[in-house]
Amino acid sequence: MKFCDECGSMMKSGAGEDHWVCDSCGNEIGRESDDSEWTTQSQVESEVVDVSDAEDKGLPTTTAQCPNCDNDRAYWYMQQIRSADESETRFFVCTECEHKWREDDH
C-alpha cells in the first residue's frame, strides 16, 4: 500500500502496473522493485451464503420492551442524528417483529 506524498490519499496501481496513481489529486510516482509483494492481489473463490433468514443482525441485544408486540429482547445501536454537541440517539429493533423505535438520552 502506498500513500500520496501530495495529499495523503491511498494510491492505486497505474496502467501497466509500473507506477502508482493517486485518485484524489492525480499525482503519479514510479513503482519501486520491492513494492510488488505488497500490491499483488490474489483471487479467492467465494461462496455465496444465503443469510436472508438469519436472526442475528450483528448488533448487540438488550432487554427492552417492544411497544408493538411486547417482546422483551431488542437489538440496539447508537446514531448521531442531531448536532455534534448533543448526545447520540439509541435505536432499538425488536428481535421478533423487527419494529424500530428510539430512546433519546437526556
In-domain check, residue 88: yes
Cα dist from 53 to 3, 19, 27, 57, 69, whole Å: 41, 46, 46, 10, 20
Domain total in the chain: 2
Task: Please state, in angstroms and rounded to a whole number, the distance separating the CA atoms of residues 98 and 71.
Answer: 10
97 is known to lie in a ligand binding site: yes
- pLDDT, tens digit, 9 for 90 and up, residues 52-76: 554 555 788 899 999 999 899 999 9
* Highest-pLDDT range among 1-10, 21-30, 34-43, 73-82: 73-82
52 is known to lie in a ligand binding site: no
22 is known to lie in a ligand binding site: yes
Which is it for strands 11-13 and 19-22: parallel, antiparallel or unpaired?
Answer: antiparallel
Write out the residue range of the structural domain in which residue 94 sits.
61-104
4 is known to lie in a ligand binding site: yes
7 is known to lie in a ligand binding site: yes
Tell me the residue length of the chain: 106
In-domain check, residue 74: yes
69 is known to lie in a ligand binding site: yes
In-domain check, residue 43: no
- pLDDT, tens digit, 9 for 90 and up, residues 3-28: 788 887 777 877 666 778 887 888 88
In-domain check, residue 46: no
In-domain check, residue 49: no
Q: What is the pTM for the complete model shown?
A: 0.44
Task: Please state, in angstroms and rounded to a whole number, the distance separating the CA atoms of residues 41 and 76.
Answer: 37
In-domain check, residue 54: no
In-domain check, residue 50: no
Name the 3-class secondary structure at 104. Answer: strand
96 is known to lie in a ligand binding site: no
Q: Say yes or no: 100 and 67 in one domain.
A: yes
In-domain check, residue 78: yes
